[in-house]
Chains A and B, each alone.
Chain A
Amino acid sequence: MRSEQPRRPSWERPSLFTRVMAAVGLVFLHAPVWVIALYAFTTEDRTYQFPPPGLTLHWFDVAFARDDIWESMRLSLLVASAATLLAIILGTLAAFALARRTFTGKESITLLFVLPIALPGILTGLALLAGMRTIGLEPGFWTIVAGHATFCLVIVYNNVVARLRRIPPSWVEASMDLGARGHQTFRYVLLPQIATALLAGGMLAFALSFDEIIVTLFTAGHERTLPIWFYSELFRPRERPVTNVVAVVVILVTLVPILLAYYLTRPDEQSQGT
């Protein structure tokens, strides 16, 4: 479409430098991820030699036969599911409470809701650990979930609150005027509108939790989530190629929900509400 126009005026044309640097920046962001994918197939198992001397699928068999990896994978999936569920419930409640109302103290409450992702993760981790020790709580599955839910809640809240603000208040008023009760308005007017935002928030929360390491190392005790397994493997590698395979699997497990989340909230879908 743009090509039909004659020649764009100077302030609408990027300089060659801008164009090249933009492309370089994008490649820089993506290249390392492809590297991992390549190394999962290398036949070399001691060094990080590049280019790989040969390619093989052997390491996938080895990785899939390892019980410790499956065990960690199972734990991570369970933690992510529980944390996401909690985050969806708490985040949605908060979004409904805060989307439209104005009241004294709202600023402080919204600040509290972004704090867990605004402050460095190490602070959240250490704080939760200090809190657990004070009340004598043993670290384990539920402390991991509690830590994850705390920052996942923010993600869900942000997604849902943004969508709620785009729903015209007149829709709710119309629904009420036509005699719908509160729960009916919620079920037939609001829920269909926020469904995709809710799902997207849930997907992102799941991906975030599945991959979390900074907070988890403080709250996990003796439990080994997949990122913790991965982290310990970085320092005491038993078999490097297996680590590479797990890296690829982790990328795939997190990539699917993220792409889905993007698809669910992509711009033209968002504009339907307005």
Chain B
Amino acid sequence: MERAVALGARLADRDDPLGKEARRDLVLTSGLSREGVELALTEHLESAISSDDMASLLAAVKTAPRCHVILAANVGTAALRAIALALAASSEVTIRPSRRDPGLAPILARELGIAVAGELTAAPGDALHVYGSDATIAEVRAAAAPGVIVTGHGTGLGVAVISAGVDLREAARALAADVIPFDQRGCLSPRVAVVEGDADRAAAFAAALDAALRDLGEVVPRGGLDEATRAAIALYGAAIDAVGERFAGPQHVVGLDPAPRALQLPPPARVVHVVPARAVDAARLLGPWARFITTVGSAGAGALLDAALALAPEARPAALGRMQRPALDGPVDRRGLGK
């Protein structure tokens, strides 16, 4: 596993031959812009691990004679953590990368001597880690042979809580730094910002976030959008035009719903839904989403944040600006680990 982390450091290094290869591959397959790939590799790839995190990671992993990993068309760098976890579970690891978007998996497999297979055959007692949608995980679980220990790593989303009293421009800049990586496609990517206070405060935050995303977008442009994503953005925008205010930038959208009855999930393409809320609103707004929340990012502290964390107790808490930099202390997604 330490070798995987060391490899992360080489991949992050743009002057290392492996780093160059990774950049070339991810630009071709990830859909991110060249700058987006650079950001992902240099800032969001696990390239070090502390002894405490190592201990946590090992504690989170059940050892098995063999470990098989089905990787999704995940964010490009996600394969590293998935493989590190598999190596912590077993010295005999086989992976099946996504055909559509293999990310770093082929390089990691080659450099670490890990077997790559088109189909995985797990035997009783083997561990099988599945990355993908809940439906995919359920399918794999149902098809697995009896005795195979299947662990699902599903899809999810991040929620940002902007507490009362914090500087809105500072919080907006920090949140933008969490939205930009992977073009918001990660399960830790914030899709919704809940602003403690009234509609005016949420509107001020939405405007600040719009400005911050505009600034960062010039440095790290969004990758190309396919038609389905553009269509999803159009429908989201039309809904926001009806209920609130849309701040549309060249590479992002911020949608403000000043009086939310429910939350709207925006498409993952640097589109952030902003609502005002008080702690008493948390259950109504976040409750239906609680099981999907993988991380709660926060600026400041207060009753709303407490309520959000209580609703999603397995979500990773993080400071805004750190939502996409989780410690290598186990799976990114902690939901269900306590079971």
Q: Do A and B assemble together?
A: no
Partner-A contacts on B (CB < 8 A): none
